[in-house]
Structure 1
Amino acid sequence: MAGTALAAGVLTLAATLSLGLAAVGGAAVTAQRAAGAADAAALAAADAASGAVPTVDDPCAIAARVAAASGAELVACAVDGLVATVQVRAMYAGLRAVSRARAGPPGT
């Protein structure tokens, strides 16, 4: 009987640790996804602002579409000349990952 209780306790502990590690892993993946989405959105906005990508849309509207395609939401966007600065947010299990990125010509 004692062996059964011990085995049940060990299994419960292992299951709890596994769920915790899965949650931490998912949060880490979400943070990386947010960082990638911010980089891509900033580059898209900077390309639109510089004319490298011909478009009639606002650079921040393009950044919002790129962020959404990457599984994130554009929270803030500012274009100053040829430099774009964005902030995106991605959610995972109620946790929020926020990332910022800036893109523009070299030396700015």
Structure 2
Amino acid sequence: MDDRGSATVFGVVGIAVVVGVVAVCLQVGGVVVRRHEIGAAADLAAVAAAAHLPDGVAVACGRARWVVERMGERLGGCAVSGWEVIVAVEGDVSVFGPLSVRARAGPAEG
């Protein structure tokens, strides 16, 4: 049995494995970045809504929608409970499923 060329086969397989791992890492990194962007939009929208809560729930949720849309995301929901605002922001569907982040804001307790 002749072993000539086996190093080439192992080299090609090794390169294919490295390329596959890099591709998966790039996908995961992209999803992490998108999740942080969506989280930032949710945080800012919740704070903006809480700041406008004295003007009414409709105004507060309208301000949350305005902030989210300016950041290029989609508002999934806006709920008010007392002086606390909970905002849900939805993002694109990735290979790992849909991205959605919730944030809440209101007066500090204590």
TM-score in terms of structure 2 length: 0.79
Rg larger for: 2
* CA distance in structure 2 between the partners assigned to 1:82 and 1:50 by the alignment: 9
Give yes or no for the alignment of 1:20 onto 2:20. no
Which blocks of at least 5 consecutive residues in structure 1 are unaligned?
Answer: 52-56
2:108 corresponds in structure 1 to 106
Give yes or no for the alignment of 1:46 onto 2:55. no
TM-score in terms of structure 1 length: 0.80
Give the CA deviation at 1:99: 1.2
* CA distance in structure 2 between the partners assigned to 1:92 and 1:4 by the alignment: 39
Percent identity over the alignment? 29
The higher relative CO (CA closer than 8 Å, separation ≥ 6) is in 1
The within-5 A match list for 1:61-80 is 61-80=62-81
Q: Which segment drifts farther, 72-81 or 11-20?
A: 72-81
2:38 corresponds in structure 1 to 34
* CA distance in structure 2 between the partners assigned to 1:105 and 1:22 by the alignment: 39
* CA distance in structure 1 between the partners assigned to 2:89 and 2:29 by the alignment: 20
Give the CA deviation at 1:81: 4.4
Which blocks of at least 5 consecutive residues in structure 2 are unaligned?
Answer: none
